[in-house]
Amino acid sequence: MQRLKIIPLFGFMTMLTACGGDMSDLEQFIAETKQAHQGKVDPLPEFPPYQTFSYTVQDVRDPFRAQTDLSSSPIIEESEYNGPRPEATRRREPLENYPVDALKMVGLLQQKTQTWGLVRDPDGTIHRVQPGNYAGQNHGKIVQVSETKIEIVELVPDGLSGWVNRDAQLAMTED
């Protein structure tokens, strides 16, 4: 058992003594290689100093500002505004979570005098709508349902504290 432990130790000692030879030829090769392959790096080019530009013209319009002067157009206080505006107190409907262009009209239901449009949302759910319902993220009110389209009037901000009507449609699709 003792001999089995000594044999690997003897082999290890032999390997250590074999690796401890003269390295002068290796050192000479490294020195020659360093002498033969010395690279030269060009100096960095000189760049001219950066000249800043200051915009000092006072009488000309600033190109970085909006062309329309909003200070000349009166901004109407909300209490003074008489145009269309969204109903703040009404309950939101499920189709108002999606933009109008993401909704698709997929069918029509008629029962006696009542007509409903069928609208598919991006999640694949089909909703039954009629005039008076709301759809789209811009307070869109459905005003007419026909066999080929659903007409919607949206309320969008005009940028001056007011609202404007914008017409939109959902046309019948066959997919």
Strands 163-171 and 149-157: antiparallel
Res 148: pLDDT: 92
CB 163 within 8 A of CB 154: no
CA distance 57 to 34: 62
For residue 174, the number of C-alpha atoms closer than 13 Å in the C-beta half-sphere is 2
Instruction: Show pLDDT as tens, one digit a residue, over the chain (175 residues).
Output: 666 778 777 777 777 776 666 778 888 888 888 887 777 788 889 999 888 877 666 677 777 777 765 555 555 555 566 778 888 888 999 999 999 999 999 999 999 888 999 999 999 999 999 999 999 999 999 999 999 999 999 999 887 778 899 999 999 877 6
Res 73: pLDDT: 55
Give, in degrees to the nearest 5, the angle at Cα 86 between 138 and 84.
Answer: 105
Q: At residue 55, what is the residue type?
A: Y
List of domains in the chain:
51-175 (2.30.30.830)
